[in-house]
Amino acid sequence: MSTLVPHTAHLTGRSLRAFARQPVFVVLTLVQPLIWLLLFGQLFRNIVQLPGFEAESYLDFLAPGVVIMTVLFSSGWSGMAFIEDIDRGVMDRMLSSPVSRGALMASSVVYNGFTTVIQSVVILAIALVAGARFPGGGLGVLVLLLAAVLLAAAFGSLSNGMALLVRTRESLIGFSTTLTLPLSFLSSAMIATSVAPGWIQAVATWNPVDWAVVAGREALSASPDWSAVGVRLAGLAAVALLLTALATGAFRSYQRSV
């Protein structure tokens, strides 16, 4: 345990140096979210007139959903870094050294959190320029960022764990796409579940993606229900801890198979 923090800091520094050499990667990941935000925000702006829709402005409603969807898709690719290390032999060298296995996973989680905050802030800033309004102010933004970071920790760890098990880009791409697309559309990221079919409402209740969306959207509202926010953040934290622990255990499976 005494090695976890210093090893995590060292490995996170390695990832940040790689980011500094290629910051354009984070910029490119924002292209699709901005299409969702600006194009869908205009295309479906009249959807709020549906009876029972929970917002007056679709752009206000959509912005937190786009933030969370961006986090989900980005964290789903987190395991690609592990596969690159496996292909280059870096992972084997690390696992033959005294480096903490927990630090290998924790550093990836921290790095995902760093990129998540950057992406989320940029998306929210563009939403504000486009006309979105967030009555929840700075506190609401912080809660949305916390929900986004917790979701990134959960699905980034899951992606890392799968990378250690499948060890090929093609398999990880298939897994990530199969998981992230249904979870996105079975949530309230783009449309209120109150106007969705009953079975989607039931699934969304147990969907961590919807927890993150609802927590962030509620915190950004004029009169947040903080009990609802707290329950969902606690659920996200529990899922993040569980998936991080399970993904760390995947190192043993990887070492047995090489």
pLDDT at 24: 66
Domain holding 212, by residue range, is 4-257
Q: Please report which confidence band the pLDDT of residue 2 belongs to, taking 50, 70 and 90 as the band edges.
A: low
**What value does the mean pLDDT take over residues 198-212?**
94
Percent of the chain at pLDDT above 90? 57
Q: Is 232 strand, coil or helix?
A: helix
**pLDDT tens by residue, 38-88:** 888 888 888 888 877 877 889 999 999 999 999 999 999 899 999 999 999
**What are the distances in angstroms from CA 35 to CA 61, 66, 124?**
16, 10, 14
Q: Please report which confidence band the pLDDT of residue 258 belongs to, taking 50, 70 and 90 as the band edges.
A: low
CA distance 253 to 173: 20
CA distance 45 to 112: 32
CA distance 223 to 220: 8
**What are the distances in angstroms from CA 48 to CA 54, 81, 191?**
7, 40, 9
Other CB atoms within 10 A of residue 215 CB: 30
CA distance 161 to 172: 10
The residues near 247 (Cβ < 8 Å, ≥ 6 apart) are 105, 157, 158, 160, 161, 164
Instruction: Give me the number of domains the chain comprises.
Output: 1
Closest CA to 60 of 183, 204, 185, 220: 220
Question: What pTM does this model have?
Answer: 0.92
Q: Please report which confidence band the pLDDT of residue 1 belongs to, taking 50, 70 and 90 as the band edges.
A: low
Q: Please report which confidence band the pLDDT of residue 98 belongs to, taking 50, 70 and 90 as the band edges.
A: confident
> With 80 as the cut, is the pLDDT of residue 205 above it?
yes
- Identify the top-confidence range among 23-27, 100-104, 151-155, 198-202: 151-155
Q: Please report which confidence band the pLDDT of residue 165 belongs to, taking 50, 70 and 90 as the band edges.
A: very high
> With 80 as the cut, is the pLDDT of residue 92 above it?
yes
pLDDT at 26: 67
**pLDDT tens by residue, 128-158:** 998 899 999 999 999 999 999 999 999 999 9
